[in-house]
């Protein structure tokens, strides 16, 4: 055998070794549900999508409740700030006419714009639709579990294919959930998704700032500014 043949054989051997190493390295990164048959993959998709859609419904329900509370609080602040100058309260410093006029106008505009923006989001309708989507997927999930579990069921492959087609039709009917909804669902199954304590806390933090923070800022911001104004005026 010539030197060239030895060299070609060595290069082929090295390629096979590299390929084997690459397969071993990436084998652990393949999602578990992709290592089984299509029924296993579909079972996972139904399970995780169902959970994410229910979490999306919960997120919109929280948004709807906090939105109503925020508008109520802002409307109350508008009345309360005007009452500061009406009643003689010894521990409160009155606003000047210009300050009171600015606060009243600013809060009125803020309430008007905020109401329009929040109504456009249609949290209540989205919450109901996401919940309905979750129920429909849950029905498919239960049907698939029965097909895979009961040995007496015939034509399992055809039944699984039909379930997959119905699943695709459901996805086309409804709006997709947000990444935070999927993260929030994984938080409920920390052992399965191998989440650390820090990972769970981080999801809680993301969920708060993406869903609740803006409402809490609108609810508590004006009263904190009012308290700060009162303290600052008394210090002077």
Q: Is residue 21 included in any domain, yes or no?
A: no
User: 129: domain range?
Assistant: 36-235
Number of domains in the chain: 1
Q: Is residue 108 included in any domain, yes or no?
A: yes
What is the rounded CA–CA span in Å between residue 93 and residue 225?
14
What is the rounded CA–CA span in Å between residue 18 and residue 24?
10
- Written as tens digits, the pLDDT of the chain (236 aa) is 566 666 666 666 676 666 656 545 544 544 554 455 677 889 999 999 999 999 999 999 999 999 999 999 999 988 888 887 777 666 677 777 888 888 888 889 988 998 999 889 999 999 999 999 999 999 999 999 888 787 666 777 888 899 999 999 999 999 999 999 999 999 999 998 888 999 999 999 999 999 999 999 999 988 888 888 778 777 66
- Residue labelled with tokens 């905020």: 114
- Residue labelled with tokens 């639709």: 129
What is the rounded CA–CA span in Å between residue 172 and residue 19?
40
């Amino acid at each position: 055998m010539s030197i060239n043949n030895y060299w070609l054989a060595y290069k082929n051997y090295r390629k096979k070794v590299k390929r084997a190493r690459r397969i071993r390295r990436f084998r652990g990164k393949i999602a578990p549900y992709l290592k089984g048959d299509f029924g296993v993959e579909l079972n996972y998709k139904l399970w995780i999508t169902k959970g994410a859609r229910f979490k999306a419904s919960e997120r919109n329900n929280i948004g709807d409740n906090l939105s109503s509370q925020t508008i109520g609080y802002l409307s109350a602040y508008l009345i309360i700030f005007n009452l500061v100058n009406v009643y003689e309260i010894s521990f409160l410093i009155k606003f000047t006419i210009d300050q009171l006029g600015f606060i009243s106008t600013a809060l009125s505009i803020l309430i008007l714009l905020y109401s329009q923006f929040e109504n456009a989001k249609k949290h209540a309708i989205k919450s109901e639709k996401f919940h309905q989507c979750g129920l429909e997927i849950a029905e498919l999930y239960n049907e698939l579990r029965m097909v895979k579990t009961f040995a007496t069921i015939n034509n399992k492959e055809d039944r699984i294919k039909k379930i997959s087609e119905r699943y695709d039709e459901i996805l086309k009917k409804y709006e997709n959930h947000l990444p935070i909804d999927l993260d929030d669902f994984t938080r409920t199954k920390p052992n399965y998704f191998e989440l650390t304590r820090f990972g769970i806390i981080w999801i809680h933090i993301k969920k708060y700032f993406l869903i609740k923070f803006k409402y809490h800022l609108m609810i508590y911001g004006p009263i904190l500014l009012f308290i700060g104004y009162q303290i600052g005026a008394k210090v002077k």
